[in-house]
Each structure stands twice: as structure tokens, then as C-alpha cells.
Amino acid sequence: MTISHHPRTRAAVAVSAFSALALTLTACAGSAGSGSGGGERGEGYAFGASQEEISAAIEDLEPVTVDYQIPATSMQSPQSPMGTHFKEAVEEMSDGKITVELQWNQSIASYDELHNALADGRVDMAFTLPSYDPARFPAFNALNQILAGDESTPVVGELVTNLAAAELSWNSPEILAEYEENDVTPFVPVMASGEYYTVCTDPATDLDAWQGLQVRVGSPAASDMVSHVGGSPVSIAGVEAYEALQRGTIDCSLAVLSDVVQGGFFEVAPNLGYTTSTSFPRVSGAILTGTDVEQMPLAYQQILFDSFSAYFHGQQVANINAKAEAVVAAKDQGVGIEEAAEDLQAEVNSFADGKRQEVADSGIIGDDILDRMATVREEWTTEVEELGFSDGGSLADMDEWYDMDTDFRPLGDAFMEKTMMDHRPS
């Protein structure tokens, strides 16, 4: 698999407070804490440095390995770009001295154990689902709850929501405090992930069809939404959704399309539904790291930081390309692709409005959160469009207009310039 890279002089953004980034590193030939002069962490390099300068900064450092657990089941999964682009960028920039080992799906730790595994060093870096544990991460869950309800488009809407969620989360100290309390550190504190759609055993596009419908959900917000429109939410693990649909235990699943493709859901649920004037609640994730980064040389921290643009590109490839792939697969398998009826979308939107107001009234992430969200979304909508990203149609014909070679790295650069540069390890 050949993966292109942004020039090193434009290596883009990572995360606020990345100087505290916690990566448990396994030394291949010595301690991960080995520095290169200039104190315990060694000397780093200037942002925008040439590859020659970066190579010189790490010349005397010992190799390290980072175990990075992602939700993809294998290299062939539509979700694998979330890890592969980041892996190749880090390894190339570090001259192979940092090895990123991709750990597939929940091979080291399941989602309910993953935060503990990061804290105790079993996993170094991982995609996690704090939305599965709202009692432990209430501020995270509050932000997740207000991401639904906006108009839905396959490309621009997806990009804006992910960028807005990342910016809002880095500027919400309540969310960052939850990670600190759990001995983990964010690389992306709230990753909106992909938009959610319905896959159902029978058509379910209008409000009447949802009355009593058994729908698999993955977050409190999704559970409340399903109840609001008359359905019955069912909480089961994503890996169990295929069999639940096959056996009739559930009628529908709310899911990102990368999971639908990866799980082969169309075989047992040949009806795909999507929204346009609103959006279903998401099950947001996060990219978190473990606890030993302070032993890592500064230059290695900077390489990980400066590879964020490659990560962001891979994340959006996993999110957005999977939609086009899902449409192709659906049409190949005779799956119905239908927009949700106006009455259903109106109720989904009504629910989202109410949930947003509840979050604002609670003050858990600030009583001005709705104003901040509106401002951030407007700013990123403008940025996304100015950088040339657009929608050429709807989800139903995405296979006809979407370019699978779209490069999302320029947005990673823009995010760094707007939000993250002040937090680069130094």
C-alpha cells in the first residue's frame, strides 16, 4: 500500500498539551528516555525543519516502539487508514527509529477496559470510546450530545463536525480534566468520528415505521433519540450487531458506514437510511495515550506531534471514503438507499435542539457552549470551503461524484495554525 505524505516543512498539527502526551514506549535497543544533550529529554528541532535537521536531532537516540490500537480489524479494513497514514509518517520522519505497531480492533484491550490499559501501560496509544462510559467522562459525553442536529452532507458536514469537535474539546478544560483524572492524555480529545446512518432489516424511513422499532445504539444520546422518536433502544456491542440483525433481535443499527462495510451488515440489513436536514447522534471517540511520555526524548515527541496531519488525513479517508465504498457495496447488493422522511427528520432535529439546551443549562462544559459551537462551526465551514472541499451530490449518488484520492492534509495544517501550534512540545 503506497501512502503519500505532506512535505516535512508542513508537517501539521497534533494536540494541545502534547508535551504531556503519554506514550508507553518499548525500547528496541535501550531506554526510551535516552536524550541527546540539553537535559533529560534531549534537544528537539524547530517546526518546519528539513528532514536533514530532524535526522540530526535524533541521530543518537535509541529506537522505540509504540503500540497503537485502532478499531480496524485488519489492513484491508476501511478503517485502517486511521492508523496506516500516521504510522508511515512517523516512521519515515524518524528514519525508522520510531516503529508504530498497529494493533487491530480490540486485540489488546476491549473498549470497557481500554482506558485502564492505557493508564497501566498495556497499550501505548489507542482509539477509545469515552461515550461508552458517561459516568466516568460526563463532560466528554456532554460535548458528544450536542454534535447531532446539524444539516448533514457527506463531505463538508463531516469535516466541519470533526474539526469543530476537536477545537471545542481542546478549549473545554472540563474534558481535559477528566482525562487527567484517569491517567490518560489526549492526542485528539474528542474525535467526532463518522456520521451515523441507519441500516435496517426492513425499510424504516418515516416516523410511523419507528414506532416500537428495536434499534441498536452506542451512546446515551443515541438511546434518548431513539426513545424520543418512538423506537426501543438496545445497547449491544458493535461486534454483536451482525448476529443481532440476522436473528431479528434488533431491527436496525445506528452505525458509521465504515463499520457497516467492515461488518458486512448489508447482508442482513439491506436498507440504508440517511438524513439531510439534521443528523443522528454520534458515538464520538478519542485518540488517547498512556503514561510514560516524559521519558521519551523531545525530538520523538515532536515527530509524533508533527505527524498529526497524516493522522487527520487517514481519519477522514476512513470516515468519508467509507461512505462512497458503502454506496458502491449497497448498489452491488441491491440495498435500498433512502433519505429519511421529513417527519422523522423533524423529530430527530427537535430532540437535538432539546439535548443541546439541556447541556447548555447544565453548565458542565460552560453555559456559553452553544454560542461557541456556532462560532466554531461557522469558522470551519468557511475554511473547509475556501480550501476547495465540497459536496457534489447526496449520499445516495456519492459513488458518482466523490474523488477517492482526496487529500485532507491541508485541513490538518489549517487546524494547527488556528488552534494547536502554541502547544508544540518544546
Q: What is the mean pLDDT of the chain?
A: 88
**Does pLDDT of 70 surpass 60?**
yes
Mind listing the pLDDT tens digit for each residue in 39-64? 467 889 999 899 999 999 999 999 99
Q: Distance between the two ends of the chain, CA-based, in angstroms?
A: 34
**Does pLDDT of 89 surpass 90?**
yes
The answer to whether residue 142 is domain-embedded is yes
**Does pLDDT of 27 surpass 50?**
no
- Give the phi and the psi of residue 199 in degrees, each rounded to 5: -120, 125
Mean pLDDT within 381-386 = 97
Residue 161 has what pLDDT? 96
Residue 293 has what pLDDT? 60
Please give the DSSP secondary-structure letter assigned to residue 218: S
- Most confident range (mean pLDDT) of 1-15, 39-53, 230-244, 348-362 is 348-362
Residue 257 has what pLDDT? 94
Please give the DSSP secondary-structure letter assigned to residue 17: T
Q: Name every residue whose Cβ is closer than 8 Å to that of residue 326 and which is 6 or more positions away in sequence.
A: 257, 258, 260, 261, 272
**Does pLDDT of 105 surpass 80?**
yes
The answer to whether residue 279 is domain-embedded is no
CA angle in degrees (0–180, nearest 5) for 157-160-165: 125
**Does pLDDT of 19 surpass 50?**
no
Percent of the chain exceeding pLDDT 90 equals: 75
- Rg (C-alpha) for the chain, rounded Å, is 21
- Cβ atoms of 156 and 130 within 8 Å: the answer is no
The answer to whether residue 27 is domain-embedded is yes
Compute the distance between CA of residue 13 and CA of residue 408 in angstroms, rounded to an integer.
Answer: 13
If you write DSSP's letter for every residue of 302-333 in order, what string do you get? Answer: HHHHHTHHHHHHHHHIIIIIHHHHHHHHHHHT
What is the SS3 string spanning 23-77?
A: CCCEECCCCCCCCCCCCCCCCCCCCCCCHHHHHHHCCCCCCEEEEEEECCCCCCC
Torsion sign over Cα 212, 213, 219, 225: negative
* Confidence grade of residue 294 (pLDDT, cut at 50, 70, 90): low
Residue 162 has what pLDDT? 96
Distances from the Cα of 159 to the Cα of 283, 391, 412, angstroms: 16, 11, 11
Q: How many domains does the chain have?
A: 1
Residue 291 has what pLDDT? 75
Domain range for 94 is: 12-194+284-332
- Cβ atoms of 119 and 344 within 8 Å: the answer is no
**Does pLDDT of 16 surpass 50?**
no
The answer to whether residue 58 is domain-embedded is yes
Chain-centroid distance of CA 94 in Å reads 25
In the numeric block, which cell numbers belong to residue 54? 530532524
The answer to whether residue 211 is domain-embedded is no
In 3D space, the residue among 204, 152, 197, 194 whose CA is nearest the CA of residue 394 turns out to be: 152
Residue 142 has what pLDDT? 95
The answer to whether residue 37 is domain-embedded is yes
Compute the distance between CA of residue 225 and CA of residue 233 in angstroms, rounded to an integer.
Answer: 9
Compute the distance between CA of residue 177 and CA of residue 225 in angstroms, rounded to an integer.
Answer: 28
The answer to whether residue 155 is domain-embedded is yes
The answer to whether residue 419 is domain-embedded is no
Rounded to 10°, the helix 156-170/138-145 angle is 150
Residue 290 has what pLDDT? 82
Looking up residue 297, the CATH number of its domain turns out to be 3.40.190.170
